[in-house]
Structure 1
Amino acid sequence: MRQHLFALVITCILALPSFTQAHTSDSSAPLVSVQLWSVKEALKEDFHGTLGALADMGFDGIEFAGDYGPYANNPSELKKVLDRLGLKASSAHVGFDALNDKNIANTLLYFKTLEVKTLYIPWDERAWDSKKVAQFTQQLTAAHHQARRFNMEIGFHNHEREFEPYRNKTFWQYIAANTPDSLPLQLDIGWVHYAKQDAIELIKAYPQRIRSAHLKVVAKDNALSPILGNNGFAWEKIITSLIKDGHTQWLVVEQEQYPQGLTPMESVAASKESLEPIIKTLAK
């Protein structure tokens, strides 16, 4: 019975049209989305109103992080909501529990309906465990290969610990070297800086694999403003490298910290506003 159901879901996935990302290499500046984890409490309080406010801020898309409002079992209706707001689903963060043998077909069908091409594993403690990182890369690769059958991808998103030393390099380098070149690496610029790594060097090291990047500031001990902008980050050079070297198609604004006096929604708006002049310059 389970095999029959799996085959039926696979048939449905294959029957859907083939989706491609909105931008390809060496085109104009990428589109800009927002990681919905940034405004998770607002989303819980008013799902539709929050999406509408993000659209009004000028975002091109949103990146899902587990909250689908009343549409957890109805991607078709959720797609209609996004279409009405002029938003695209740039990607989604999902855990391996959604990609096991029991769930992967339904997960891929759900996101294929939303026209999402790429899913990212956002966190896995095996990624910085010397005894388990090989197992992790094998599972990541296997899931990616399954997704590729449906013109989709499974990738990985970093935090800071992936840049800890491992075998004379780093865990991140090990993961990148032991996964296919087709597997996307979502670079989180905030955690890259926090780990004292060079973002541009990392982008250039993995050409065409940085299909999307999180633009964020990790502001520990109030040493930096968490708002994108005047915080010592060479955003224009970083974004230029993302476009040229990473072939990045989506810039994803993420806000995990909020200055005193600003709500999460106001913080996201402030970061988006500071990013706009850079995007406009690069789009010329």
Structure 2
Amino acid sequence: MIQLPIALQAYSLRRIYEDNPLRALKLIREAGYDGVELYGTHFQTELYPALLREAGLVCAGWHTGIDALEQDFDNTLRRNLAVGNHSIAVPWFNADSAAGWKAFAERLNAAAEKLSRYGIRLGYHNHAHEFQPVDEETPWSIVAENTEGPVFLQLDTGNAAEGGADPLAELEKYPHRARTVHLKPYSKSAGFAPAVGEDDLPWEAMLESCEQRGATEWLIVEYEEEKDPVSAVQRSLSFLRKLRPRD
């Protein structure tokens, strides 16, 4: 049985979160999630730990752009230390050449080295375009092969599937670098509309891979669509709990 803790990416409830963060975090906790992955810098640093305490959640990670890490490192570090976070993922990048992606990989290495002094690890989160070849290589493989071990690979299952990749195969390719994994549902016929377990992805096999062969510490659900996200994240967790029952 899957024993890993399950968090929700706050972006799943973005309209609620950005308007009333405490309400969003309480909804996440009431749904039964163990933690939350934050994104952006919508609120003052001091507010984040207070919100998490009141909601009864732990911070499972934070999506942070590479520019913020390079140009606003001190404030970024302060926010993460304030909530006890040990995992930052860069959520987006794009380049039109393999050389551009290799240069980005070096930026990740440099930022990861700085963060490691404070007990924080850095990773990269994919969208669909990382699986479309650039100069005969996929950007995902370029990032993987040109970053050092401390840089983890936060595979987003739905984004990978949308890009034409097999998310299970990608997990198996780099098992010891999947520190956190984004469980995003995807269906060829319905896109990102289904909840986890209502789509086309091989959830049991992917979760078994994370549990048995990977170095995964957190499973993080992310729901992309804006229509009825509260119900979708509840149904997603209900499905996952059948695979990982509570003690």
What's the TM-score once normalised by structure 2's chain length? 0.91
Answer whether contact 1:203 1:245 (CA < 8 A) is retained.
no
Partner in structure 2 of residue 235 of structure 1:
203
Q: Residues 224 and 143 (structure 1 numbering): CA distance in 2 closer, same or farther, change over 3 Å?
A: closer
Q: Residues 234 and 248 (structure 1 numbering): CA distance in 2 closer, same or farther, change over 3 Å?
A: same
Q: Residues 73 and 81 (structure 1 numbering): CA distance in 2 closer, same or farther, change over 3 Å?
A: closer
Distance in structure 2 (CA, Å) of the matches to 1:207 and 1:131: 25
Match of 1:152 among 120, 127, 135: 120
Match of 2:221 among 249, 253, 260: 253
1:64 paired to 2:29:
no
Answer whether contact 1:159 1:188 (CA < 8 A) is retained.
yes
Distance in structure 2 (CA, Å) of the matches to 1:238 and 1:220: 18
1:1-284 map, 5 Å: 29-69=3-43, 72-74=44-46, 77-100=47-70, 102-126=71-95, 129-166=97-134, 168-219=136-187, 222=190, 225-258=193-226, 263-280=228-245
Answer whether contact 2:192 2:225 (CA < 8 A) is retained.
no
Q: Residues 45 and 205 (structure 1 numbering): CA distance in 2 closer, same or farther, change over 3 Å?
A: same
Structure 2 residue matching 1:257: 3-state secondary structure: coil
Q: Aligned-pair distance for 1:98? A: 1.4
Q: Aligned-pair distance for 1:275? A: 1.7
Distance in structure 2 (CA, Å) of the matches to 1:188 and 1:91: 14
Number of aligned positions between the proteins: 247
Q: Aligned-pair distance for 1:153? A: 1.3
Distance in structure 1 (CA, Å) of the matches to 2:140 and 2:147: 11
Q: Aligned-pair distance for 1:109? A: 2.2
Structure 2 unaligned runs (5+)?
A: none
Q: Match for 1:73: what amino acid?
A: T
Distance in structure 2 (CA, Å) of the matches to 1:223 and 1:166: 24
Answer whether contact 1:185 1:211 (CA < 8 A) is retained.
yes
Deviations 1:175-196 (A, max 9, x none): 1010001211100000122222
Answer whether contact 2:8 2:222 (CA < 8 A) is retained.
yes
Answer whether contact 2:112 2:151 (CA < 8 A) is retained.
yes
Determine which structure has more spread, i.e. the larger CA radius of gyration: 1
Shift >4 Å, 4+ stretches: none
Answer whether contact 1:208 1:246 (CA < 8 A) is retained.
yes
Q: Match for 1:46: what amino acid?
A: N
Name the % identity. Answer: 28
Q: Aligned-pair distance for 1:243? A: 1.5
Answer whether contact 2:123 2:153 (CA < 8 A) is retained.
yes
Q: Residues 224 and 114 (structure 1 numbering): CA distance in 2 closer, same or farther, change over 3 Å?
A: closer
Answer whether contact 1:32 1:252 (CA < 8 A) is retained.
yes
Distance in structure 2 (CA, Å) of the matches to 1:245 and 1:200: 12
Q: Aligned-pair distance for 1:123? A: 0.5
